[in-house]
Amino acid sequence: MPGNQEENFVLTSSVVPGIRNIAFLPNVEDIKNWDIIPDDWFAIDEQDPQLFEKEDLLNYNVNHMTSYKTKTVAPMPPPINFVPPDYALIIKNYLQESLSSGWITDTNLANILDDQLQQIHNALVSEDYTQAQSLLQQFINTVESSTSEQRTTEAYALLYYNAKYLYNSIIWEIPLSIELLPLQDEKSLNQYQELTAIVKRGNVPEPLMDVFV
C-alpha cells in the first residue's frame, strides 16, 4: 500500500541494468474485506462512454486509486545491433533520467559526467577507440569516487555497469601494440640483452602476454 516500505529486495542478472516502469497493484479482495471503500468508487461516471458492471467498476477504481507507479532499475539486455556511439547516448540518457528522478542530487557531478559522456561519444563517432577507452576509464573513476550523498545506488548501477559494458565492448576494436623495455641500453659485442615485450591494447596491458626475448 502507498506509504508502506519494504526492504531487502535483491536482483541478480548477467545483463546490464536499465530503467523500467513498474506498478504495485493491491489485492482487490483484501481491499473489499477491509470495508473501507468510499461510496463514490461504486458510482458510474455518466460522462464516461464505457459502462461498467458494479463489480468491474469497483475493481477498476481499486486498481487505479490504490496502485503506485514509478521507475526502477532492472535488468535490460543491450541492443541487438550494438553501435558504440549510440550506446554512449543511452548512458547519457540514463544520466538525465537519474537527475530527473532524484537519483543524482549533485548537479555539479551530473555536469561533469555529462561532459565526459559527450567527449566519449565524440571519440566513438570518430572511431578513436583508444581515446574513448581512456575517457571511459575517467568516467568510471568519477562514478566510483562519487558518494552516496551525491547519488543513489540506482544512479551508480546505471552509470557504472553500462560504462563498463561499453568499455569492454570497444576494447576489441583497439589493435595490439608492443613496447620493448628497456628502450635503449649499451652492450658489448657478443653480450646478451634481455628485453621485455609488453603487449597492450590501447592503454591496458594484455594479461599473460608479456614475453622475454
Q: Where are the domains of the chain?
A: 26-66, 78-173, 176-212
Query: Are 135 and 123 spatial neighbours (Cβ–Cβ below 8 Å)?
Result: yes
Pick from 90-99, 138-147, 157-166, 172-181: least confident: 172-181
Q: How far apart are the first and last CA of the chain?
A: 70
Point out which residues pair with 126 in neighbouring strands.
none
Give the pLDDT confidence of 55-88 residue by residue, as tens digits. Answer: 565 666 666 666 677 788 888 888 888 899 999 9
Q: What is the pLDDT of residues 146-168, one digit of tens each?
A: 999 999 999 999 999 999 999 98
Question: What are 139's three cell numbers?
Answer: 568516467
**Three-state DSSP class for residue 96:** helix
Angle separating helix axes 84-100 and 107-125, nearest 10 degrees: 170
